[in-house]
Each structure stands twice: as structure tokens, then as C-alpha cells.
């Protein structure tokens, strides 16, 4: 999504806008949720930081939508346009989110997991059409500028993805309507800011004995879950377990790999490395829902 924000930022800039684009990282690890934002205006932009009331929200990974900590829908109102990279229809999302505003989806992108690495360009392309102020040629120029360092082949694939997404939103051109930004003069500073009294244990390390890191369930961080298809696994004994950066894959004596879901953080390196493609990536939310349904039967 950093790529998407940069492509949009550059496209706005090429169209003569003042621009601010910025990514926001949390944990520095593969698979960690990130977001990025873009401001554009014909006037100088003095506001900074996270956008509190977005005109357009673009979601590249729909498994983040139900995660409260991700805050995907925070600050939206009925004027906000939401674009979700999802195979589910816009109507399903509107119901699911209980959301009055416009929702659009990118079903073609969602259907093709192998294309996930180009999702930034596709999102930027669709967003550009929804915004209605970025021309098709400008979008293409922005992609060429932003991705130039990655080589001509990468640029071409991203261009194709972005332009296809741009064209797919033809019926919804210029659906995004900017609202006037609030004035700093209207800001009322609070008289008093409550700082809650925090339990001392909130930050204190609780090390009661050695070799207890296994007690920390880092698997809770996962947004995608790798699942092994044991029929397809060729019992190579070593690839997934060796590439796993967290040592969360063990191999049974008969050669069957087992994933320790209490400690798998969902980086999907095993999915990328498995030679017979025997590991697939499922949305953690969907996997948990399916598990609960299975348990209640």
C-alpha cells in the first residue's frame, strides 16, 4: 500500500496538485498490517499525520476489515467511498459493515492470489478513476516514475494491472467527493487530558524462569494462516521448516511438516518457498470462523 500511496501521490502531483503521501508502519516484520495515506489539494496542505476523516478508503487485504486494531473503517461517514480488494460483492460488504456510503470491489484482483504483489498498482489504478481527477496517461506516467528502479518488466506488469483496474471503474468515475478540511482556528484544545493510571505490569517484563518465550503466543499477530495440503506435500523433510524464520514448523519422523499456530506469525515465507505449492494462505479470520463452525457441529 506504500506503493499505491506513492503512485497516487505522484499522479496528483503531475496533475498539478499539492500533495502529501506517507506510509505508517507498525511492527517491522513481513505480514504486519500497514497503511498509508495521501492528501491532495490545490492549496498548500498544512494538516499532517493520520487522516481522521477520509474521503476514500482503499483496502488491499480484506481480512483486516474485521480486525478492530486495524481501524479500517474509523472516521468514515456516508460521504466516504470504500474500495475493497475482495471477491465478495459490494452489497455483501455494505451489509457486513452496516455502511451507507458507496462500496466498490476488485473481484478480478481478489480471484488471483499470484497477482497479490501487484495489488498496490491495481488499488492505485481503481482509486485514480474513483477520484476522477487523474487521467489515464498521468496514472501510467506516475507508475513509470515510481517503479522505474524495479526494471522494465515489473513496470509493464504493474501498468497492465493498474490500467485494467482504472478501466474497470469507468462507471464509477469521480465518485469521491472531497469535504472541506476543518480549520485549525475551530480547534478547541481540551482543558484537561486524562492520563489513565496504568498497571505497572503493563510494561514490566515478567520473566519468572528461563526458556519461557514459548509462552508468548505470537501466533495471535497472524492475519494470514498458512495451511499445508498433506496430499500435495512431497515429504521433502526440510524446505518449509528451514525457511520458517520463527522455527514454527516441525517435521514429524515420517516427514510430515506440522505448523505451530501458537507461534506462526503469518509471514507466508513457507507458502512462497514450498516447491510443490502444498501450502496455501487462508485469511486468518475466515479460518477461525470455519474452525468455530466445525467445532459447533
Partner 1 sequence: MTRTLLTGNGAAAWGARLAGIDYIPAFPITPQTEIIETIGKWIDKGEMDARMVTLDSEHSMITAAGSAAATGVRVFSATSSQGLLYAMEMLYTVAGWRAPFVLVNVSRGLSAPITLEPDHNDVLAARDSGFLQIHCSTCQEVLDSMLIAYRLAEDERVRLPVIVNLDGFYLSFTREPVEIPEHQAVPL
Site of interaction with partner 1 (CB under 8 A):
6, 9-10, 13, 18-26, 28, 45, 48-49, 203
In the complex, the smallest distance separating the C-beta of residue 48 from partner 1, rounded to whole angstroms, is 5
Smallest distance from partner 1 to CB 263, Å: 20
In the complex with partner 1, the residue whose CB is nearer, 203 or 209, is 203
Cα gap 102→22, rounded to integer Å? 25
Residue listed under C-alpha cell 522505474: 148
Please tell me the distance from the alpha carbon of residue 78 to that of residue 69, in angstroms, as a whole number. Answer: 22
Whether the CB-CB separation of 83 and 104 falls below 8 Å is answered with yes
Q: Shortest Cβ distance from residue 228 to partner 1 (Å)?
A: 33
Cell numbers at 180, concatenated: 472541506
SS (H, E, C) 129-174: HHHCCCCHHHHHHHHHHHHHHHCHHHHHHHHHHHHHHHHHCHHHCC
44 or 294: CB nearest partner 1: 44
Residue whose CB is less far from partner 1, 142 or 240:
142
Number of CB atoms found within 10 A of residue 37's CB: 19
Q: What is the DSSP code (8-state) at residue 114?
A: G
- Closest approach of Cβ 275 to partner 1, in Å? 34
Q: CA-to-CA distance for 172 and 195, rounded, in angstroms?
A: 45
Q: Which is nearer to partner 1, 19 or 131 (CB)?
A: 19
Give me the least distance between CB of 131 and partner 1, in Å please. Answer: 17
Residues 87 and 206: their CA atoms lie apart, in Å, by 44
Closer to partner 1 by CB, 21 or 55: give it.
Answer: 21
Provide the minimum distance between the beta carbon of 101 and partner 1 in the complex, in angstroms, as a whole number.
Answer: 27
Q: What is the dihedral angle through the alpha carbons of 284, 286, 289, 294, rounded to the nearest 10 degrees?
A: -100
Distance of alpha carbon 158 from alpha carbon 177, whole angstroms: 27
* 49 or 196: CB nearest partner 1: 49
Query: For partner 1, which is the closer residue by CB, 152 or 204?
Result: 204
CB of 87 to partner 1, least distance (A): 32
Question: CB neighbours of 175 closer than 8 A, spacing ≥ 6?
Answer: 81, 102, 104, 130, 132
C-alpha cell at 134: 487523474
Amino acid at each position: 500500500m506504500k506503493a499505491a500511496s506513492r503512485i497516487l501521490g505522484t499522479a496528483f502531483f503531475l496533475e498539478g496538485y499539492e500533495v502529501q503521501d506517507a506510509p505508517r508502519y507498525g511492527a517491522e516484520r513481513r505480514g504486519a498490517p500497514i497503511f498509508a495515506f495521501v492528501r491532495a489539494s490545490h492549496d498548500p496542505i498544512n494538516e499532517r499525520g493520520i487522516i481522521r476523516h477520509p474521503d476514500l478508503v482503499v483496502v488491499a487485504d480484506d481480512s483486516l476489515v474485521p480486525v478492530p486494531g486495524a481501524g479500517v473503517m474509523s472516521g468514515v461517514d456516508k460521504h466516504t467511498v470504500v474500495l475493497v480488494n475482495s471477491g465478495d460483492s459490494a452489497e455483501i460488504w455494505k451489509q457486513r459493515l452496516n455502511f451507507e456510503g458507496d462500496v466498490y470491489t476488485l473481484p478480478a484482483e481478489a480471484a488471483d492470489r499470484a497477482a497479490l504483489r501487484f495489488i498496490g498498482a491495481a488499488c492505485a489504478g481503481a482509486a485514480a478513476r474513483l477520484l476522477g481527477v487523474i487521467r489515464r496517461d498521468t496514472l501510467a506516467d506516475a507508475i513509470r516514475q515510481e517503479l522505474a528502479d524495479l526494471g522494465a518488466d515489473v513496470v509493464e506488469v504493474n501498468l497492465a494491472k493498474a490500467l485494467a483496474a482504472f478501466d474497470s471503474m469507468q462507471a464509477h468515475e469521480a465518485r469521491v467527493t472531497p469535504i472541506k478540511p476543518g480549520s485549525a482556528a475551530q480547534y478547541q484544545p481540551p482543558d484537561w487530558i486524562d492520563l489513565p493510571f496504568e498497571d505497572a505490569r503493563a510494561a514490566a517484563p515478567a520473566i519468572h524462569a528461563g526458556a519461557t518465550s514459548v509462552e508468548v503466543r505470537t501466533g495471535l499477530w497472524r492475519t494470514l494462516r498458512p495451511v499445508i495440503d498433506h496430499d500435495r506435500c512431497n515429504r521433502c523433510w526440510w524446505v518449509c521448516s528451514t525457511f520458517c524464520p520463527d522455527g514454527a514448523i516441525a517435521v514429524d519422523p515420517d516427514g510430515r511438516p506440522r505448523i505451530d499456530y501458537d507461534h506462526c506469525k503469518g509471514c507466508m515465507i513457507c507458502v512462497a518457498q514450498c516447491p510443490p505449492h502444498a501450502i496455501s494462505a487462508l485469511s486468518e479470520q475466515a479460518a477461525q470462523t470455519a474452525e468455530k463452525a466445525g467445532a459447533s457441529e
